[in-house]
Amino acid sequence: MRVAIVQVCSTDDLAVNLAEAERGVAEAAERGAGFVALPENFAYMRREGGRFPCVQGPDGEIVRALRDWARQYGVWLLGGTFPEAIPEDERVYNTSIVCSPDGDEVARYRKIHLFDVTLGPDEGDAYRESTWFAAGEELVVADTPFGGIGLSVCYDLRFPELYRALTLRGARWLVVPSAFTRETGKDHWEVLLRARAIESQAYVIAPAQCGRHSEDRASHGRSLIIDPWGLVIAQAGDAPKVLVADCPVEETDRVRAAIPALENRRLPSPT
């Protein structure tokens, strides 16, 4: 399977962001990718403290665009994340979907872990996602002809029990669309992603936001594709880019047979 990541620097201009994302998907398809992944907030990057003017219903503009691109370009498409409306709640879900080459939505995941942290002494060092977002509750593995795709988003990366549960439910690919902060990304991004690949013996596909989105927000970048042995097989830099790598599906079986850690585990399975 040839996999592509579309790394972008999104802003609060929905139309421009959608156009940039489509250009990336088109380039990925032209380069032979069968599975294309977009990052968190690919369609709209809100300013800190701001609300979303583009909250989506079940079949909103962003969802329709993702389904259309998947069908038009004939790819499996991970739709990063977008704000999904919650009836009778001012908060939204941070939602990711997978679309098939037929343009069908085959899986929908709502981010479970919310980024409520204080990275430093200044007011700008505090992040409170729970003010604006509601947490999802369901684990999701998308069924595809090239293996199960375990869905996660950004801060989920710090919770290894999530990935063990996804792996035990059949995931052979783990996706982590993200907008990692520069403060945490420089020290934690790659090492956490490689750890998830090694312990899950699965491919990890991590499409990231990059660059400065506004005067008060920037992202780490460095999108990664990592193989089941934990080796980085493709990495982007700090600017928008379409990253492509060939990922032999049989590599997962080879690694799991060589070190059968998933079979040898003794502790109870996570729920």
Tens digit of each residue's pLDDT (9 = 90 or more) over 96-117: 999 999 999 999 999 999 988 8
Q: In terms of pTM, does the model score above 0.85?
A: yes
Domains delineated in the chain: 2-264 (3.60.110.10)
Which stretches of the chain drop beneath a pLDDT of 50? none
pLDDT score, position 52 = 72
40 is catalytic: yes
- Choose, from 99, 154, 210, 247, the residue flagged as catalytic: 154
* Closest to 197 (Cα-Cα) out of 222, 223, 234, 172: 172
Which of 40, 84, 105, 129 is the catalytic position?
40
- φ, ψ for residue 234, nearest 5 deg: -160, 140
pLDDT for the residue 125: 66
Q: How many CB atoms lie within 10 A of CB 159?
A: 15
* Rounded Cα–Cα distance for residues 151 and 173 (Å): 9
Supply the pLDDT for residue 268.
81
* 251 carries an active-site annotation: no
**Apex CA 22: angle with CA 16 and CA 23, to 5°?**
90
Query: For 100, phi and psi rounded to 5 degrees?
Result: -85, 165
**Euclidean distance between CA atoms 213 and 236, whole angstroms:** 18
Residue 189: closest CA among 52, 40, 44, 12: 40
Would you state the pLDDT for residue 128?
81
Beta strands in the chain, from DSSP E residues, in sequence order? 2-7, 35-37, 76-78, 82-86, 89-99, 105-110, 116-118, 126-128, 141-142, 148-151, 171-175, 203-206, 210-214, 217-220, 224-226, 232-235, 241-246
pLDDT digits (tens, 9 = 90+) for 151-168: 999 999 999 999 999 999
Q: How far apart are CA 148 and CA 139, in angstroms?
A: 12
pLDDT of residue 130: 87
Residue among 111, 210, 241, 247 flagged as catalytic: 111
